[in-house]
Every structure is written in C-alpha cells, then in structure tokens.
C-alpha cells in the first residue's frame, strides 16, 4: 500500500534534456510539471548534477548558513478523529497513553522550555477530536471552551505569557479559526503531505482520514495566505504516492506561494516504519529518494525558499541533504521528544553544529517566523511586540 510506484508520465508533455532543465532553473525560469518529474526521476548518474545545481541555487540566496528553531513540543491532545495508517501519535479516549494537556501542564512545559533557551512553542495535536468523542467534548466543556481550536488559543496565550512564540499546527482549520489564532501565533503550519487524492481511496493511507483530503488542505493553505499568516507546509514521502505526484505536490505548493507569498518554509519529510503501525512493513524512502526530492524542491521553489528536512529522521544523511540544497533543519527540542516519531531522538544541537561545520556550513538559530516575515505586513500587531523583542534579544541580536 505504501510502496512507491514509478510514475506514469504518459500524460505529461515530453521533458527537455536534463541539462536544459537545470539551466532554466538556474536562470530563475518557472519549471513545468514535466521538468519537475524529470528532475525527481533522474538517474543515479544524473543525481550529482541535479544536486549540484540545487546547492548552487541555495547558495545564491542563503550562502552556507543552515538554520534551526529551538522549540518545545506542546502535544495539546493526541486524540484525533482521523486514522492515518502510518500514525503512532493518535489515540482514542481510554487508550493507554491518551492525553489532553491541562493548562498547568502547558504552563509548566512552556516554562521549562523557556529556561532551556527554547523560543518556539509548537502546538501539535490531532484533528477535530470533539467531532468523534463524547468524553473529549466533556473535557473541553470542563475547560470552558467549545472546540479544540479555542483551547489551542488558550494554550498559545499561556505559552506567550511564559516567553515563547507559538507556532500552531492543528490540522485543518477554518478561516475563522485561523483569524482567531493569528494574533496569538508567530506562524502556523499544515503539511500538504501529498496532492494525490488516491491516498484517500479504499486501501489508501488516508482512507479513514477525512482531514487529509488534499483539496481541503490546499484550500486552507491558500486561505492562510489571504490572512497574511507566515506558513509552513511540506511533503511526506513514502505514503503511497508516485514519484510524479511528489513533483505535482511541489508545484501545488509553488502555485499557492506565487498567489499569496506566505510559504516561509517547505519540509521534505520521509515516512519512517514502526512496528506498531499498519504500515510496519512498508518500504521507507531511501536517502537518495530524499535527495532527489530535496533537490527538486529547491530547483522548483527557487533560491529564496527555505527548504527543510528533519535531521532526526535521517541522522546519517546530514551531509547529503546539505549537498542536495536544504538550508534548514526545522525545530529541534532540548526538552521534548518528537511526539510524531518518538523513536527518533533529536540530534544534540552542538553535535549537529559540528557536523554542519565540517561540511562547510554555519548552524544558526532562527525563530518560528523567518526574518523576511518580521514586518507589519505579516505580523499581527498583538504578537508583533513579542516577536520583535525576542528577535532583538536573541537570534537577531547575534546576527
Ligand atoms: S497523522 Fe495527524 S491526522 Fe493522521 S491520525 Fe495522526 S494525528 Fe491524526
């Protein structure tokens, strides 16, 4: 079910020779789907040239600086109405390990994170559990809120009070919900994961995950742009998509960003198999699948895009991914585990810095909002003071 099919490019126009595609990408041309498919399907022999072009394009805008965000995960609830077959995070009420964080726990974790130098509070949670679970609706009522997103707003206020900048990734949200959260967040996010509607069909990884409808996710990402919310999105590789669909996903992200300009970073994330999931025996994308996707993302999205890969999911590929064109490692926590991939420990930040240095890169901290978005166009006035003060006091003051 999760195996990667080779693409069928029968409907796409014939691709140009690879060298011509790379020349056009380096000249800033807008690549076609056929171009992107040719890049992401390149042969082993062609991969070094594709990666070299991607790295050169990255260097033009980013140089040899690679960033990360020091953050604390706040898994507000792991109840979720969806059932993605690769997920170990979600639980039903009453399952061992099911939780909803109480306000005092949110404050305590935020405080400890701030003491350890974290700047970002990542609100991560399941999707719309109140729609599925009566017990959880009672929990929300006892907390004085009607919806999970209202409760996330409360959690953001707590994190702000403790000196952190919230970044909410709460699944599908309405425009009204995002509007309510904008004054409480430095940025927000939603992984597109894949543009493929096939993954929601019978036997697909998202068959029982109504919130993973790609059309709904594209709509929300677009609406976030209309609300001027700096936004994080990305792809999850190895969940049953074809290679060509990976290229289509990248082009969909590019198209939204051309309309709205709010995509501050694009994550290229690899599926990791775990014994307890339905996809336990599914093949994982290998390092070169990831390198092809990263390099293609860079060449499709351009020199200025922040392209990220999680270091804890590919700890041996730090140098390869730098060579393929990333400029960011995403959030790394000195306090909390990666709740979505709990078996994959974060790298020690100093060790990661040493490896980057040996590869010729400076590892630098950034905030949950990238510097290019710290301005009146993108920041809600209610959170702007916190962001600017944090910037001046920490990473901005050191740059
Ligand atoms: S991946 Fe997200 S949406 Fe899917 S089941 Fe897990 S928590 Fe729910």
What does the alpha-carbon distance between residue 291 and residue 299 come to, in Å, rounded to a whole number? 12
Is the separation of the CB atoms in 327 and 62 below 8 Å? yes
DSSP string, 234-302: EEEESSS-BHHHHHHHHHHHHHHHHHH--EEEEEEEE----TTSTTTTSPPP-HHHHHHHHHHHHHHH-
Ligand 1 atom with least separation from CA of 211: 3
Ligand 1 atom with least separation from CA of 126: 7
For residue 126, report the distance from its CA to the centre of ligand 1, in Å.
6
pTM, whole model, 2 decimals? 0.94
- Residue from 86, 90, 169, 277 to probe ligand 1 pocket by mutation (most atoms less than 8 Å from CB): 90
For the domain made up of 30-398, the CATH class stated in words is alpha beta
- Residue from 87, 88, 132 to probe ligand 1 pocket by mutation (most atoms less than 8 Å from CB): 87
pLDDT value at residue 9: 43
Is the separation of the CB atoms in 237 and 271 below 8 Å? yes
Instruction: Write out residues in the chain with pLDDT < 50, as ranges.
Output: 1-10
Ligand 1 atom with least separation from CA of 88: 6
For residue 348, report the distance from its CA to the centre of ligand 1, in Å.
27
For residue 23, report the distance from its CA to the centre of ligand 1, in Å.
40
pLDDT value at residue 45: 97
First to last CA, the chain: 47
pLDDT value at residue 10: 44
pLDDT value at residue 118: 95
Ligand 1 atom with least separation from CA of 87: 6
Residue 71: both structure tokens together: 């953050």
Q: How many residues does the chain have?
A: 399
- Tell whether the torsion through CA atoms of 225, 215, 75 and 352 is positive or negative: negative
What does the alpha-carbon distance between residue 29 and residue 39 come to, in Å, rounded to a whole number? 14
- Residue from 77, 97, 126 to probe ligand 1 pocket by mutation (most atoms less than 8 Å from CB): 126
For residue 45, report the distance from its CA to the centre of ligand 1, in Å.
37
For 249, other C-beta atoms within 10 Å of its C-beta total 27
pLDDT value at residue 399: 57
pLDDT value at residue 225: 98
Where exactly are the structural domains of the chain?
Answer: 30-398
Model pLDDT for residues 95-141, shown as the tens digit of each residue = 999 999 999 999 999 999 999 999 999 999 999 999 999 999 999 99
- Residue from 73, 76, 82 to probe ligand 1 pocket by mutation (most atoms less than 8 Å from CB): 82
pLDDT value at residue 397: 72
For residue 54, report the distance from its CA to the centre of ligand 1, in Å.
32
pLDDT value at residue 155: 98
pLDDT value at residue 234: 98
CA distances from residue 195 to 39, 112, 248, 249, 367 in whole angstroms, order as listed: 18, 38, 7, 5, 28
pLDDT value at residue 290: 98
pLDDT value at residue 344: 67
What does the alpha-carbon distance between residue 248 and residue 304 come to, in Å, rounded to a whole number? 20
For residue 87, report the distance from its CA to the centre of ligand 1, in Å.
6
- Residue identifier of the C-alpha nearest atom 2 of ligand 1: 126
Number of H helices, E strands in the chain: 15, 9
Ligand 1 atom with least separation from CA of 86: 1
What lines the ligand 1 site, CB under 6 Å?
80, 82-84, 87, 89-90, 126-127, 171, 209, 211
């Amino acid at each position: 079910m999760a195996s990667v099919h080779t693409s069928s490019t029968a409907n796409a126009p014939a691709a140009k020779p690879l060298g011509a595609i790379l020349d056009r990408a380096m000249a800033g041309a807008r690549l076609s789907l056929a171009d992107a498919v040719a890049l992401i399907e390149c042969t082993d022999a062609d991969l070094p040239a594709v990666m070299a072009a991607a790295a050169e394009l990255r260097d033009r805008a980013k140089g040899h600086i690679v960033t990360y965000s020091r953050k604390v995960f706040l898994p507000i609830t792991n109840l979720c109405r969806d059932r993605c077959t690769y997920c170990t995070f979600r639980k039903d009420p009453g399952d061992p390990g099911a939780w909803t964080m109480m306000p005092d726990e949110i404050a305590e974790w935020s405080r400890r994170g701030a003491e350890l130098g974290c700047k970002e509070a990542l609100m991560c949670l399941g999707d719309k559990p109140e729609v599925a679970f009566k017990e959880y609706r009672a929990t929300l009522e006892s907390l004085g809120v009607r919806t999970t997103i209202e409760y996330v707003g409360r959690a953001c206020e707590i994190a702000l009070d403790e000196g952190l900048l919230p970044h909410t990734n709460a699944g599908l949200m309405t425009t009204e919900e995002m509007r309510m959260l904008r004054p409480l967040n430095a940025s927000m996010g939603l992984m597109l994961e894949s543009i493929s509607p096939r993954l929601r069909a019978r036997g697909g990884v998202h068959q029982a995950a109504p919130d993973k409808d790609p059309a709904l996710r594209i709509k929300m990402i677009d609406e976030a742009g209309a609300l001027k919310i700096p936004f994080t999105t990305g792809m999850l590789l190895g969940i049953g998509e074809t290679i060509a669909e990976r290229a289509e996903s990248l082009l969909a992200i590019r198209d939204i960003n051309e309309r709205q300009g709010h995509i501050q970073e694009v994550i290229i994330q690899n599926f990791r198999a775990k014994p307890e999931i339905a996809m336990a025996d599914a093949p994982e994308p290998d390092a070169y699948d990831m390198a092809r996707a990263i390099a293609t993302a860079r060449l499709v999205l351009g020199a200025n895009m922040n392209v990220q890969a999680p270091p804890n999911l590919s700890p041996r590929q730090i140098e390869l991914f730098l060579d393929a064109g990333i400029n960011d490692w995403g959030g790394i926590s000195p306090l909390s585990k990666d709740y979505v991939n709990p078996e994959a420990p974060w790298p020690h930040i100093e060790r990661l810095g040493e490896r980057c240095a040996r590869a010729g890169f400076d590892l630098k901290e950034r905030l949950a909002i990238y510097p290019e978005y710290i301005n009146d166009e993108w920041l809600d006035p209610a959170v702007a003071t916190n962001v600017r003060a944090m910037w001046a006091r920490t990473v901005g003051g050191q740059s």
